[in-house]
Amino acid sequence: MELHRRCILLACGSFNPPTHAHFRMFILAKEALERKGVTVEEAIFSPVSSSYRHKANLVSDHHRMQMLSLATVNSFMRADAWEQERGTWSRTVEVLEHHRQTARQKYADPLIECFLVCGGDLVDTFTKVMDDGKNLWDQEDLDRIIFDFGMVVLARQGSKPQETLKSMTDRPLEKVIVAEETTFPNEVSSTLLRKALEEGRCIRFCTADPVVDYIAAHGLYGSGYRAGPGERERDGAVGQNGAGAMNGTHNGAGLINGAGHNENGAGRHNGANVHTNGAGNNHK
């Protein structure tokens, strides 16, 4: 099966806060598709609504949108508030369908695809059975994600996405691409960043500088952080919106560092929001 020559990318999750792993995830997915001759028009972060209360320590929709927007300025990536503005839990296929239809109108291309980008740990939940005996994911939704929309999966340590997918179906996985972070593998996650902030530790270079500065400006995640060890206070480092303009160079600087984890738990089926530790990362 030949893939259509144009697509967009979508990652669902909490992004609480976003990390370099999230940004690297899209870069790796873009490179993998381009090697197959597919042009990636844009990559969209779709943060979950804060009305979804199964997620502990989830900061407001506004703060998470601001952090993503600041980090992706002048990039092929962007944040979109459609899912948040619905004010309710959304199934992953609903978000995929919305953005595919929007892209087909925006780019005047009725065949443009929308690939879900996620971590291998999320794929491993596709076969999970809950305590009440029900499947975590709806099988019809999974079939649409795997065979209709398509996926770019970032392999993570301890995950076995290819084995999981092969155990689910005998059909060829023609729209599933498994990529691996070999440039800068690491285990950075939102969970680890929140823990560091709660303990007053520096998270600079774990995420984009505008995100670090925004967190400091708004005291998010119980942060007393202002400047890390050895950092000097920078004139204009935190503007009115908390954006880091360090020497006017940031606007999403540092997006090339980080591992490809899909941190924010994306599987939202049967009322369950899967937050795996890994955008894969854990949207915890």
Taken in order of first residue, the domains within the chain and their CATH numbers are 6-186+258-273 (3.40.50.620), 190-248 (no CATH)
Give pLDDT tens digits for 234-243.
434 444 444 4
CB 149 within 8 A of CB 96: yes
- DSSP, residue by residue, the chain: -PPPSEEEEEEEE--SS--HHHHHHHHHHHHHHHTTT-EEEEEEEEEPPTT-TTSTTPPPHHHHHHHHHHHTTTSSEEE--HHHHHTS---HHHHHHHHHHHHHHHTT-TT-EEEEEEEHHHHGGGG-B-TTS-BSS-HHHHHIIIIII-EEEE--TT--HHHHHHHH-SS--TTEEEE---SS-----HHHHHHHHHTT---BTTB-HHHHHHHHHHTGGG---SS-TTPPP-TTSB-TT--B-GGG--SSTTTT-S-----S---EETTEE-------S---
| Residue for token pair 């065949």 | 111
What is the reported pLDDT for 270? 47
pTM, entire model: 0.81
pLDDT at residue 93 is higher than 60: yes
What is the reported pLDDT for 56? 73
CB 246 within 8 A of CB 172: no
Per-residue pLDDT band for 19 (boundaries 50, 70, 90) equals very high
Give pLDDT tens digits for 101-153.
999 999 999 999 999 999 999 999 999 999 999 999 999 999 999 999 999 99
Query: Residue 95 to residues 79, 101, 173: CA-CA distances in angstroms?
Result: 13, 10, 22
Mean pLDDT score of the chain? 83
Report the C-alpha gap between 68 and 173 in whole angstroms.
31
Report the C-alpha gap between 118 and 12 in whole angstroms.
8
What is the reported pLDDT for 278? 38
* Maximum pairwise Cα distance, the chain: 59
Give pLDDT tens digits for 185-234.
888 999 999 999 999 999 999 999 999 999 999 999 986 665 555 454 44
